[in-house]
Amino acid sequence: MKKRVSLRDVAKHCGVSPMTVSYVVRNINCVKASTRQKVQAAIRELGYEIDPMLRALAAYRSKSSNPTKYKSTLAFFDSEPSRFSHSIYEHCRREAREIGYDLTYFKQPQTHEEQAKFSKRLWAQGIRGILFGPCQQEFDLEGFEFERFAMVGIGAFQHHPAVDTVCLDYFQGLYLAAQRSMEHGYRNIALFLLARLEARTGHRWLGAYKAFCEHWNRKPLVWIFDTVPADKEVLDWVRKNRIDAVLTLSKTVPKHPRLARLRQVLLNDWDVSPGEWHLSGSQELIAKESIQLLDNYLLHRKYGIPEHPKQISIQATFHTE
């Protein structure tokens, strides 16, 4: 039996991305004319036919009585509203609209009863895709009727049950932060974190820090704590170990005159003040990967909780301003 020509076969033949071919097939007007013509010619030459699942998705997107440009809606759940989470939402909303979806913002329901009611509400509105926004707390989501929805989490997702996520590459990010700090002249670089936040990364921060110390022959200076220690304890620890830089998160190291010269390097950009050294990931790329992953699950009707949740990791960038 002759192998069916796939969308990826067309993309490879044209030297473009599969997403570009998808845009052409779905008549989304974001591909320049010359590229569109090249893709259409390849479709005819190779005998590509649209997958029935893709037709089903197109029907799903167009099934709405609302006479607006966007014929299908996704849900964005924000469990910890902040400037950062709203920024992520806006990036996701723009990316969703690029491929034919609208994205509606909701505050995440907390109790099982609220979650069950919300599931029914979303289902009745024709919403089948959910994005869980970034947060720093863990929530029990057992009240959701997961078997009805495709879901993607953004950030270090530790809610229960777990779903597939898009997040920073925590190992690469911390190693980069430690290395750049050393290159700027800092020598005694410590790791200072709440245990629950470090654990959310799958202990990638701790693993990266140990790898950095071993590779550069540095003394490990680690304090991972369950509750933020008293200011005096922190001061004594910094002075005893002659620490000159600390890898941490915002609001964990106390503000104290005796720590004025201590270089703090924040491991994300959740709550960063001007001039603070920190890591960040491209919010545009995080949004793009999240929406495309969710789109793929809707296309293939991959609803429910994944048996083996996976992460898509975005490389971090180091900032000194």
Q: Which helix H or strand E contains 265, and what residues bound it?
A: strand 263-266
Q: Is the pLDDT of residue 1 over 60?
A: no
Q: How confident is the model at residue 71 (pLDDT cuts 50, 70, 90)?
A: low
- Report yes or no on 216 lying in a domain: yes
Q: Are residues 105 and 130 in the same domain?
A: yes
What mean pLDDT comes out for the span 39-66? Answer: 64
Q: How confident is the model at residue 183 (pLDDT cuts 50, 70, 90)?
A: very high
Greatest extent of the chain over all pairs of C-alpha atoms, in Å: 76
What mean pLDDT comes out for the span 241-255? Answer: 90
Q: Are residues 156 and 304 in the same domain?
A: yes
Q: How confident is the model at residue 61 (pLDDT cuts 50, 70, 90)?
A: low
Find, among 102, 100, 103, the residue nearest to 30 by Cα: 100
Q: Are residues 127 and 163 in the same domain?
A: yes
Domain count, the chain: 3
- Report yes or no on 321 lying in a domain: no
Q: Are residues 41 and 142 in the same domain?
A: no
Provide the mean pLDDT of the chain. Answer: 87
- Report yes or no on 1 lying in a domain: no
CATH number at residue 28: 1.10.260.40
- Report yes or no on 125 lying in a domain: yes
Helical segments of 252-305, H only: 283-299
Q: Is the pLDDT of residue 270 over 90?
A: no
Task: Output the DSSP codes for 47-98.
Answer: T----HHHHHHHHHHH--S--SS--EEEEEEESS--HHHHHHHHHHHHHHHH
Q: What is the pLDDT of residue 65?
A: 41
Q: Is the pLDDT of residue 72 over 50?
A: yes
Lowest mean pLDDT, pick from 27-36, 100-109, 243-252, 300-309:
27-36
Per the structure, the complete domain to which residue 26 belongs is given by: 7-50
Return the structure tokens found at 191: 């790791």
Q: Are residues 209 and 231 in the same domain?
A: yes
- Report the relative pairing of strands 263-266 and 277-280 from DSSP bridges: parallel
Q: Are residues 293 and 150 in the same domain?
A: yes
Q: Are residues 190 and 275 in the same domain?
A: yes
Q: Between 161 and 23, whose confidence is greater? A: 161
Q: What is the spatial distance between Cα 206 and Cα 208, in angstroms, rounded to a whole number? A: 5
pLDDT in tens, 278-314: 999 999 999 999 999 999 999 888 898 888 889 999 9
Sequence-ordered list of residues with C-beta below 8 angstroms from that of 151, at least 6 positions apart, any chain: 129, 130, 131, 132, 163, 164, 294, 297
Q: Is the pLDDT of residue 31 over 80?
A: no
CATH number at residue 141: 3.40.50.2300
Q: What is the spatial distance between Cα 88 and Cα 80, in angstroms, rounded to a whole number? A: 12
Q: Are residues 107 and 184 in the same domain?
A: no
Sequence-ordered list of residues with C-beta below 8 angstroms from that of 17, at least 6 positions apart, any chain: 11
What mean pLDDT comes out for the span 1-14? Answer: 79
Find, among 103, 102, 100, 101, the residue nearest to 28 by Cα: 100
Asked whether the whole model's pTM tops 0.85, one would answer no
Q: Are residues 251 and 195 in the same domain?
A: yes
Q: Are residues 27 and 158 in the same domain?
A: no
Q: Are residues 130 and 181 in the same domain?
A: no
Q: How confident is the model at residue 67 (pLDDT cuts 50, 70, 90)?
A: very low
pLDDT in tens, 202-236: 899 999 999 999 999 999 999 999 998 999 999 99
CA separation (Å) from 310 to 8, 144, 152, 171, 282?
Answer: 22, 20, 10, 16, 20
| Three-class secondary structure of residue 103 per DSSP | strand
pLDDT in tens, 88-136: 999 999 999 999 999 999 998 888 999 999 899 999 889 999 999 988 7
Lowest mean pLDDT, pick from 2-11, 145-154, 166-175:
2-11
- Report yes or no on 126 lying in a domain: yes
Q: Are 268 and 120 in contact (CB under 8 A)?
A: no
Q: Which amino acid is at 230?
A: A
Cα angle for residues 304, 308, 314 (degrees, 5° grid): 100
Q: What is the spatial distance between Cα 122 and Cα 114, in angstroms, rounded to a whole number? A: 12
Q: How confident is the model at residue 73 (pLDDT cuts 50, 70, 90)?
A: very high
Q: Is the pLDDT of residue 66 over 50?
A: no
Q: How confident is the model at residue 64 (pLDDT cuts 50, 70, 90)?
A: very low
Kindly state the percentage of the chain with pLDDT values over 90: 52
Q: Is the pLDDT of residue 274 over 90?
A: no
Q: Are residues 122 and 163 in the same domain?
A: yes
